Amino acid sequence: MRTWITFVSFLFIASVSATVNEPFRWDFFSGYRNDRLHWHMQHGGSGTLLYSELYRDLSFWENGLAVQTISHDLVFFLYGSYGAFGSGNLKQRYADLFFTLENPQFYFSPEGWAADTFGYFGYAVNLTTDRTYKVLLIPLFGFSGHFERLARGNGTPSPLESTDAIGASSYAMTSSLPNHLHSTWYGFFLGANFQIEPGGSLNFKGGYSYHWLNVRLRTDYEAEVSLLNPALFSEQQTDSSFYAKGDTNGGQTGWAQMDYLISKAWRAGIGARMRYYSSNLIETSVKQTITSIVPSGALSSSSAPQKIKIRWVSVSGWLMISRDF
């Protein structure tokens, strides 16, 4: 009870002695976003690399809307964005295969979309009271969510052929990613923003936050292998899928923006943001179905415990137009 009285007393004193108030403002953002997503699978027991996918130069046209206000030093901020026309490059790698010592690699052209949202509460501390310029420090607490969905199609080369085979004179392999990859990060964060208003037409903002994250990853992949000795003597198709989820992961975000005051109500700006999120090793169960094509008829299904590690980096740059209300 005493704790609640202390907290309420603090809010009352802070609101009475408040020095910072800013009107309700809408910000519209539009710009370019580039993502890099890398995940790999390790054998659950030995830690041996089994498989990986590296998505590079995932480019999106990103548009976002933010609403914010400061009332009696209390800061409220809410943001949402959508990245459209996503495209990039994907390198897929297989390892520790039974029929070769090589690590076959395939290349794809993924396409898809991304969406982000975050919001926070903060407390604005005016470091320059009674000065002609203003510097604000805003400790903050918030929550964010980040979503990405990518289609991959069939890979090249198709097929990949090699004479480095075990128990055969050569092999031919094709790979495909028949369904979408679903990637989700979400969790709470703590951080701080700063705001510098020198008194002219330019304002400067920036900030940093550390994130405690949950991550979800859903995908599947399919490989077809033909062994030749010298003619075709066996062919099989392997379908693998999993849904991985883990918590206690970490991430960091940093951003900066410069605004130009067009009028009392309107302003324009340019800004950039970088996110770096990384997971711990996540235990998951990989479901696998093996179909024998030659000889035909044999079918087997299994589920094996494996470990997944995921890393996501996103860099955004934007132009902004804003209006006070």
The per-residue pLDDT for range 82-91, each reduced to its tens digit, is 999 999 999 9
H or E element in which residue 146 lies? strand 134-151
Which among 43, 92, 48 has a CA at the least distance from the CA of 284?
Answer: 43
Q: Write the CB contacts of 234 (distance below 8 Å, at least 6 apart in sequence).
A: 226, 227, 292, 294, 295
The 8-class DSSP code of residue 110 comes to -
Mean per-residue pLDDT, 303-311 = 95
User: Which residues make beta-bridge pairs with 251?
Assistant: 211, 277
- Check pLDDT > 70 for residue 188: yes
Which among 317, 196, 319, 316 has a CA at the least distance from the CA of 268?
Answer: 319
214-227 pLDDT per residue, tens: 999 999 999 999 99
Cα separation of 147 and 112, whole Å? 11
Per the prediction, the chain carries an average pLDDT of: 92
Domains plus CATH for the chain? Answer: 2-324 (2.40.128.90)
- Check pLDDT > 90 for residue 129: no
- Check pLDDT > 60 for residue 175: yes
Amino acid at 160: L
Cα separation of 107 and 53, whole Å? 10
Cα separation of 62 and 287, whole Å? 35
Residue 187 structure tokens: 């969790």
Q: Is the peptide bond before 198 cis (omega within 30 degrees of 0)?
A: no
Residue 125 structure tokens: 């501390």
103-122 pLDDT per residue, tens: 999 999 999 999 999 999 99
- Check pLDDT > 50 for residue 4: no
Least confident of 14-18, 77-81, 239-243, 265-269: 14-18
Which among 111, 110, 92 has a CA at the least distance from the CA of 173?
Answer: 92
